[in-house]
C-alpha cells in the first residue's frame, strides 16, 4: 500500500529542498505538505502535492492536518521561546491522528546539561527526542550538525571588505554539512522503510576550525583576511555597539562558544552510506560562495 508522507517546514529552505528531492523518489500523489497559511498554497499544488493548513501553535489544526498521514517529516520549530510547547503539540497530535512514523530534525551535541552554551536550543530537542522514543510511534531522529550554509553569517557579510573575521570560536574543531546534503539524506530516509527507530548523526567526515576556514577564504579570494577570536564579553559588547538585536547577539555568542567547546565535533559516514557520495567539503562550499 502506498504511504502518504507529510513534510512540514516546506516554506523554509530545508523543507523545500526535502520536498524537491522527495519528488524525485516517489509520486507526488503520495506527498502532503503542511503550511501555516494559504499564501503559497497554489505554488505547492502546482507541484502535484496535497496541501494542508496547520500551525505548530494550534493542536486542533494539527489533528485535522495529520489525518490519513502515514509518515511525518517533522522540521523542528524556529521559535526558540515557544518551541517546547509546539513540539509537544506535534508529537501528541501525530499520535492521536494515527501517524505511524515520524522523522525528526534534531541536532548533535556533546553537552546535554544546563552548562551547555546552547542549552536554550538543546532543551527542546532533548525533550522531543524523549517524547518520540516513548510515543509508541516509529521514529527516526536525524541529529544534524551545524549548517555549512551559516558560515558566511557567522563570519559577517562584510568579511571581504573589512578583512577581519571576528568570532570568539577559538581553535575549536567542528563538523559542518550543507543544507542541501541534509535534504538529500532526509528524502532517502523518507522514501524507505529501513530506518524505523534509528538515530543518525548527520555529520561530515572531517572537522575544521574557524581559523582554517578563514585561511581557505583568503586562498580562494586572494585577499588577506585575519581571524580574531576575542573574549565573549568583548564580542557581545561589539555587537551591541553595532546595533545587533539582543536575541540575535545571544544566539551568535552561544554558537560561537559552542564552536569553541567543540559541540559539533562528531564525524561519520552516515551521509555517504545514504546518498552514495561523501558530503560536500568545506573547501568546495567556500569556493562556491566566495570565488
- pLDDT tens digits, 168-188: 999 999 999 999 999 999 999
In a domain, 193, yes or no: no
61 contacts 223 by C-beta, under 8 angstroms? no
94 and 225 co-located in one domain: no
In a domain, 67, yes or no: yes
Q: What percent of the chain has pLDDT over 70?
A: 100
Give residues with Cβ within 8 angstroms of 31, minimum separation 6: 4, 5, 6, 7, 19, 22, 23, 49, 50
> CA 145 to CA 178: how far, in whole Å?
9
Q: How far is CA 201 from CA 40, 63, 127, in A?
A: 32, 30, 17
222 and 260 co-located in one domain: yes
221 and 138 co-located in one domain: no
- Show the domain range for 103: 5-144
* Listed residue (17, 25, 19) closest to 6, CA to CA: 19
How many domains is the chain built from? Answer: 2
30 and 131 co-located in one domain: yes
pTM (predicted TM-score)? 0.95
In a domain, 108, yes or no: yes
pLDDT for the residue 76: 97
60 and 76 co-located in one domain: yes
128 and 22 co-located in one domain: yes
134 and 9 co-located in one domain: yes
Amino acid at each position: 500500500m502506498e504511504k502518504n508522507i507529510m513534510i512540514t517546514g516546506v516554506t523554509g529552505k530545508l523543507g523545500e529542498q526535502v520536498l524537491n528531492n522527495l519528488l524525485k523518489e516517489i509520486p507526488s500523489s503520495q506527498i502532503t505538505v503542511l503550511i501555516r497559511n494559504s499564501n503559497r498554497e497554489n505554488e505547492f499544488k502546482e507541484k502535484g502535492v496535497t496541501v494542508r493548513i496547520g500551525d505548530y501553535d494550534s493542536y486542533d489544526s494539527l489533528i485535522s492536518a495529520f489525518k490519513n498521514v502515514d509518515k511525518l517529516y517533522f522540521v523542528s520549530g524556529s521559535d526558540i521561546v515557544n518551541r517546547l510547547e509546539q513540539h509537544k503539540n506535534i508529537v501528541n497530535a501525530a499520535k492521536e491522528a494515527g501517524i505511524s512514523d515520524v522523522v525528526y530534525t534534531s541536532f548533535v551535541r556533546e553537552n546535554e546539561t544546563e552548562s551547555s552554551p546552547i542549552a536554550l536550543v538543546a532543551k527542546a530537542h532533548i525533550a522531543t527526542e524523549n517524547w518520540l522514543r516513548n510515543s509508541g510511534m516509529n521514529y527516526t531522529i536525524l541529529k544534524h550538525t551545524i549548517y555549512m550554509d551559516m558560515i558566511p553569517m557567522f563570519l559577517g557579510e562584510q568579511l571581504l571588505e573589512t578583512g577581519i573575521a571576528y568570532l570568539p570560536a577559538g581553535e575549536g574543531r567542528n563538523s559542518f554539512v550543507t543544507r542541501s546534503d541534509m535534504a538529500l539524506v532526509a528524502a532517502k530516509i523518507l522514501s524507505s522503510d529501513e530506518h524505523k527507530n534509528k538515530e543518525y548523526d548527520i555529520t561530515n567526515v572531517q572537522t575544521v576550525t574557524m581559523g582554517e576556514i578563514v585561511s581557505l577564504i583568503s586562498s580562494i579570494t586572494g585577499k588577506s583576511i585575519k581571524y580574531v577570536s576575542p573574549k565573549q564579553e568583548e564580542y557581545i559588547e561589539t555587537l551591541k555597539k553595532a546595533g545587533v538585536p539582543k536575541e540575535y547577539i545571544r544566539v551568535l555568542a552561544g554558537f560561537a562558544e559552542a564552536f569553541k567547546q567543540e559541540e559539533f565535533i562528531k564525524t561519520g559516514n552516515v551521509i555517504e552510506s545514504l546518498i552514495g557520495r561523501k558530503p560536500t567539503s568545506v573547501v568546495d562550499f567556500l569556493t562556491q560562495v566566495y570565488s
